[in-house]
């Protein structure tokens, strides 16, 4: 699924698609989606409120890792 850069993915922490993409490129790359999620979560605080965006963010990271 395509998201606009300014689209809010995590409503609780107001994290946008651009925030997630920036976080993915700020550290060394892992091949494991869960480790990538943990790093993105550390940098953006996404999915630390209600957790409702967890699956959406995991899907975004999976798409980015698979190219």
Q: What is the pLDDT of residue 67?
A: 73
Q: What is the pLDDT of residue 64?
A: 87
Query: What value does the mean pLDDT of the chain take?
Result: 92
Report the domain count for the chain. Answer: 1
* Structural domain containing residue 24: 8-66
Long-range contacts of 39-46 (CB under 8 A, 24+ apart): 44/10, 44/13, 44/15, 44/19, 44/20, 45/10, 45/13, 45/15, 46/9, 46/10, 46/13, 46/15, 46/19, 46/20
Q: What is the pLDDT of residue 9?
A: 97
Asked whether residue 1 is domain-assigned, the answer is: no
The CATH number of residue 19's host domain is 1.10.10
Asked whether residue 2 is domain-assigned, the answer is: no
Token pair, residue 20, equals: 């997630």
Asked whether residue 61 is domain-assigned, the answer is: yes
Asked whether residue 3 is domain-assigned, the answer is: no
pLDDT tens column, 2-48:
899 999 999 999 999 999 999 988 876 667 899 999 999 999 999 99
- The model's pTM is 0.86
Q: What is the pLDDT of residue 32?
A: 86
DSSP state of 43: H
């Amino acid at each position: 699924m395509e998201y606009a850069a300014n689209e809010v993915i995590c409503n609780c922490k107001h994290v946008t698609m651009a925030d997630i993409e920036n976080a993915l490129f700020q550290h060394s790359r892992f091949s494991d989606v869960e480790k990538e999620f943990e790093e993105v979560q550390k940098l953006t605080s996404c999915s630390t409120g209600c957790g409702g965006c967890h699956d959406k963010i995991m899907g975004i990271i999976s798409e980015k890792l698979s190219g």
